[in-house]
Structure 1
Amino acid sequence: MYISGVTIDLNVFKFCTSLRGLGSIMILIVLGIVGVTYYAVVLTNYGPALFLGGFDTLASLTVLILFHCLLVMLLWSYFAVVFTDPGTVPPNWKPSVDEERGEVDPLNEVELSNLQSDPSNQQIRYCRKCSQPKPPRCHHCSVCGRCVLKMDHHCVWVVNCVGALNYKYFLLFLFYTFLETTLVTISLLPHFITFFTDGEIPGTPGTLATTFLTFVLNLAFSLSLLGFLVMHILLLAANATTIEAYEKRNTPKWRYDLGRRKNFEQVFGMDKGYWFIPAYSEEDIRRMPVLQGLEYPSTLDFNVPEF
């Protein structure tokens, strides 16, 4: 970049690559927030209330059971997103369909060589950074430095890309985090209100400050996650990713929209017993190739170019 006679070396890809260094820091931040919340809800407020008897004991027991159940699902989903590869283009992968002729006809080495010399060919998607063909809905991540199958976005909170193989886990993480933060906000609301009363408030200054901080943090996360969750529910219903949202707005009929039921199953599978846990049944993996992220059924002809 050249400004007023001064040359500035600005490389956005170097900035993207530097985001990898957040790694364990972001995970520690998430665990730190969970730890503070656990201390405020369980150890400071509702744990001791179990021994008060009567309605207080019943209310505390209900809150603690819900809190721990949601916490287990939240952490399970979170680490599933963190440690699950979102999907990588297999080595030496070749398109299995010649889109120009409309029939099964894998590209040979000469055709691949011609494709590499002419990346502008819209019949077959090609990544100039990875120097390889790209499957449908695959995009290059500048942070990870590779192509990701059905890439949605790179999330710094999970230190990973969100793609074909972990998108379900990411949605469940949003869902359980929203429920958990909402539960914490509601359960700590009476304690928060007491800060603005004239009566004596039980607890040490440290525990009171922790309760106040936990309420504000969980309220903020709950409100922000609500909008984010609604956005992804709409994308899920239309079978589109965050990256594809712009393309979808400029397309009369989105090629991958097969109806809400089928769109949902392409992410969560057909086995209802696995819908709310971050895992797939072996039967779904066997009978649904779409879960592997390489091939997607479309309502349009393959002749429609994809960007």
Structure 2
Amino acid sequence: MAKIVDKAMWSAGPVFIVIAIALVDMCVLAYYLVVFPYNHHWFSEDITLLGKLGIILTVLFTLYMIYCIHFHYYMAIKTHPGGMTDTVIHGTEDDSTQYTLLQYEENAQYPKICKKCHLPKPERAHHCSVCNSCVLRFDHHCPWIHNCVGHYNHRYFVLFMTYMVLSAAYFVIFGWRPFIICLDIANPEWPYYFPRPLMAFAYILSICMGLALGALCAWHYYLVLTAQTTVEFYNNYYEKGIAKSQGEIFVNMYDFGYLENIRKFFNIGEKYAWYTVFYPIPIPPQGNGRHFEKCQEFYLLPETVQQDAILANQAVQDLEDVKDL
């Protein structure tokens, strides 16, 4: 039964993408054909030069938001999250050397093989039953992008949600008056080409998308700040409870603090400045997604505790059929 559901989810992926694009672009049309003309009057007699400048800036801002939504959505779909056959290492030469040394060290001590792929399984990788392959730094399988969210496309996925939530809030704030007008069926006057029912649907859809994606986006930012994936969160929560019951302190080996975790996730450093987060351009993540640097607090733990933590992470890597429902 599970295989049938996985196959159906994989087959329906392109349909989900078409639906998502259609709904987003419908809201875009509702904004430019109804909300924007209602709030901005270029040919008004009493409009000032400053007012016209504000209209131009509004157009540029909204076009930027729309482009960022489509760009990051496209990149989340087309960018492979990372698999066992990937050989390209992103980053500087020093990064490559560091991760290579980590690879040799960990593979020598804790070799692990995927029970389904029968291939070496790097740390933080998991087997996705929908894609039927192991994914680097696997977070979840999302049918709305017909792809897994993993090492190489997690950044695009988070930024896509961010721009979607901000745009939905913008549409709701500036579109509530046209929404009220479109509900007044007794008034036959509707000076817009966009149909009333679609305007009402677009506004309600923006509220629903804003709330749903807002919650999901907040969840992912929490994971980013704490250097976890969705799978790791539940395992860490369980391990934290065990450590507390035994009077010990749980340490997430990948947690370098909120600021450093953000920098690592968005690849902010010498090569990419902080403002590149706002650029709708392809930016790879740090590292090769196979081996990850551990925090200092982890290495201060007794060696037996370090070994137990690594083995516990390996155990949770055997969990299958993890999906975004």
**Short-chain TM bin:** 0.7 to 0.9
Contact residue 97 and residue 106 of structure 1 kept, 8 A? no
Q: Distance in 2 between matches of 1:81 and 1:158?
A: 7
**Aligned counterparts, 1:256-271, within 5 A:** 256-270=254-268, 271=272
Q: Which runs of 5+ in 1 are unaligned?
A: 1-10, 108-121
> Is the partner of 1:161 in helix, strand or coil?
strand
Classify 1:14/1:96 alpha carbon distance in 2 versus 1 (closer, same or farther; 3 Å).
farther
Aligned match of 1:217 in 200, 205, 218? 205
- Secondary structure at the aligned position of 1:104 is classed as helix
Kindly tell me the number of residue pairs found equivalent between the two proteins: 272
User: Contact 1:81 / 1:158 at 8 angstroms: preserved in 2?
Assistant: yes
Q: 1:168–1:278: 8 Å Cα contact kept in structure 2?
A: no
Counterpart position of 1:243: 231
- 5+ residue gaps, structure 2, are 88-98, 240-249, 300-305, 317-325
Once the two structures are superposed, residues 38-58 of structure 1 have per-residue CA deviations (whole angstroms, 9 ceiling, x without a partner) of 221113442585444245975
Shift of 1:243: 1.1
1:296–1:50 CA distance, 2 compared to 1 (3 A): same
Indicate the SS of the match to 2:124. coil
CA apart distance, 1:81 = 0.4
Aligned equivalents of 1:124, 1:144: Cα separation in 2: 24
Say what the alpha-carbon RMSD is for the aligned residues: 3.0
Q: Give yes or no for contact 2:83–2:135 (8 Å, CA) kept in 1.
A: yes
1:79 matches 2:74: yes
- Aligned partner of 2:217 in structure 1 is 229
Q: Relative to total residues, which structure has the larger helix share, 1 or 2?
A: 2
Look up the match of 2:292.
Answer: 296
152-161 vs 259-268, which moves further: 259-268
SS in 2 for 1:175: helix
- Does structure 1 conserve the Cα–Cα contact (< 8 Å) formed by 2:141 and 2:148? yes
TM (norm. structure 2) is 0.74
Residue 29 of structure 1 pairs with residue 28 of structure 2: no
> C-alpha separation between the residues in 2 aligned to 1:279 and 1:86?
17
More strand by share: 1
> Relative contact order, CA 8 A, sep 6+: which one is greater?
2
Q: Pick closer, same or farther for the CA change 1:261–1:205 going to 2, 3 Å.
A: closer
Query: Does the CA-based 8 Å contact 2:182-2:199 persist in structure 1?
Result: no
In structure 2, the residue matched to 1:156 is 143
Distance in 1, matches of 2:64 and 2:282, equals 20
Mark the CA change 1:41 to 1:96 in structure 2 (over 3 Å): closer, same or farther: closer
Q: Which moved more, 1:148-157 or 1:61-70?
A: 61-70
Query: Contact 2:124–2:138 (CA<8 Å) still a contact in 1?
Result: yes
Identity of aligned residues (%): 23
Name the TM-score, length of structure 1 as normaliser.
0.78
Aligned with 2:129 (options 129, 142, 155):
142
Distance in 2 of aligned mates of 1:128 and 1:17: 20
